[in-house]
Amino acid sequence: MRVDAGGGLYFGVGAGPQGGTLTEPDQYNAVVDLGYMFYSKEWTRVEFDLGAGVTWLGSNEHKDAVYAFSIIPALRLYFWNTASFRTYVMAAAGPTYLTESYLGNMELGGYFAFNDFVGVGVRFGEEEKWNATLGWRHISNAGLFRPNRGFDVPVYFLLGKKL
């Protein structure tokens, strides 16, 4: 088991059509975010991280923009290790405050939501301090408020570095 006091930065970008059956077919969303992981604990094949981040979400519909402020717990499950890299699947979901309750034609019914992410990635570089992850982002309120149509970003790339 390895415990780091923290110290990791990440930068993410993504874009794509808003998914789902109840959505506007022409809406495309984009995301840019920056975060800091302040706690990390690793076992043999599992890693837990805890951090905070700020996200900008934009849409081609109504030229809307939303800022999201999140606390992000994340789990990585390592499944293929070599001498130079380790691959993983990752899931993260955390409470989020939104500056707006809508993005384009999608409405969440409130300013509280969960910022969810799933993806696959690789940890690499000297002492495996770098990681790159490709995945899908979803922000919704988990049915706590109505409506809850959610914001989707189907293609999302995350690059991080432990300090």
State the CATH architecture for 2-76+86-162: Beta Barrel (2.40)
Please report which confidence band the pLDDT of residue 1 belongs to, taking 50, 70 and 90 as the band edges: very low
* CA 103 to each of CA 23, 29, 73, 149: distance values in angstroms, whole numbers, following the listed order: 12, 8, 24, 10
Please report which confidence band the pLDDT of residue 25 belongs to, taking 50, 70 and 90 as the band edges: low
d(CA 69, CA 76) in angstroms, rounded, equals: 22
Please report which confidence band the pLDDT of residue 23 belongs to, taking 50, 70 and 90 as the band edges: low
Question: Full-prediction pTM beyond 0.85?
Answer: yes
Summarize pLDDT for 82-113 with one digit per residue, the tens.
889 999 999 999 999 999 988 888 888 899 99
Summarize pLDDT for 47-67 with one digit per residue, the tens.
999 999 999 999 887 767 899
Summarize pLDDT for 105-146 with one digit per residue, the tens.
888 889 999 999 999 999 999 888 999 999 999 999 988 988
